Structure 1
Amino acid sequence: MDVLSSRTLLKPRDHQVSIEFYRDTLGLAVYRTFPVGTVFFLGQGFLEVVSEGGTGSGDVSLWLQVRDLPGTLAELAGRGVTVDREARREPWGLDEAWISDPDGTRIVLVEIPADHPLRADVRPD
C-alpha cells in the first residue's frame, strides 16, 4: 500500500458548531471547503468535518502536538475552552492535557520536552 495523503474524518452532530469550534475556537487554518465539509490543516495531516448527523466521538481521539502546552492552554482558556484534564508529564515522558470538541471527541494536546528521545537528532555526526 502506497499512502499519498491522509485525513481524519469527523461526522459531528451539529456541523456548524463543530466548524466554528475547530476554525474559531482552536484557530485551525482551513485547507479546503466543500458543500458538505471543511478540511483543516493539522500539522502534517488534515481533519475533515463532514456533513452532520453523527453520533459523537466513539473511540476517536485527536493527538495534536503543540510548541508550548501551558501557553496553548492559556490561549484556549481565553476562548472559553474547558480543560478536561490538566497538563501533566506522562510515564512515557510527554506533557499532555486533554480537551474535547462539542461532540466530546477527546483532543490530546502534547508538548514534547526538549530532553525527550523524540527530539534526539538521529543524523550521523
Structure 2
Amino acid sequence: MDVLSSRILVRPKDHEASLAFYRDTLGLAIYYEFPGGTVFFLGQGFLEIVGGGDRGPSPDVNLWLQVRDLDAALRELAAKGLQPDREARVEPWGLYEAWLSDPDGHKIFLVEIPSGHPLRTDLR
C-alpha cells in the first residue's frame, strides 16, 4: 500500500460549533472547503470536519497536535476564552503537554517537544 495523503474525519454533533472551534479558536488554516465540510491543515496531516454525527467522541481516539511553544499557544487560546481541561505539565515520557476538548468532547493533546528529547534528535 502506497499512502499519498491522510486525514482524520470528525462528524460533529454541532457542525457550526466545531467549525468555529477549529477555525476561529484554534486558528487552524483551511486547506479545502466543500459543501458540508471543511478540511484543515494539521502539520503533516489534515482534519476534516464533515456532516453531522450523533454518537459523540470515543475515549479511544484523540488528536495529538505538536506546537512550537505550548505556553504561547495556551496564552493565545486563553485570550480567546478557552481554558485547557488540564494545565501544561511535563509528562513522565518527557513531553510538555496540555489537554483540551473540542465542542463535542474530543480530546486534544497540545504537545511541545523539549530540546534534548529523543523525538527532536536528528538520527541521520
The TM-score bracket by the shorter chain reads over 0.9
Alignment of 1:1-125 (within 5 A): 1-58=1-58, 59-123=60-124
How far the C-alpha of 1:25 sits from its partner, in A, is: 0.5
What stretches of structure 1 move > 2 A for 4+ residues in a row?
Answer: none
> How many Å separate the matches in 2 of 1:54 and 1:31?
25
How far the C-alpha of 1:53 sits from its partner, in A, is: 3.0
Q: How high is the sequence identity, in percent, across the aligned residues?
A: 68
Please state whether the residue corresponding to 1:16 is helix, strand or coil: helix
TM value normalised by structure 2:
0.96
The count of aligned residue pairs is 123
How far the C-alpha of 1:54 sits from its partner, in A, is: 3.0
Gaps of 5+ in 2: none
Letter in structure 2 aligned against 1:44: Q
How far the C-alpha of 1:120 sits from its partner, in A, is: 1.1
Please state whether the residue corresponding to 1:98 is helix, strand or coil: strand
Superposed CA RMSD in Å reads 0.9
Please state whether the residue corresponding to 1:47 is helix, strand or coil: strand
> How many Å separate the matches in 2 of 1:53 and 1:109?
24
How far the C-alpha of 1:122 sits from its partner, in A, is: 1.4
Query: Which deviates more from structure 2 when the two are superposed, residues 14-23 or residues 114-123?
Result: 114-123
> Deviation per CA, 1:27-80, whole angstroms, max 9, x where unpaired?
000000111110000000000001113321113210000000011011101111
TM value normalised by structure 1:
0.95
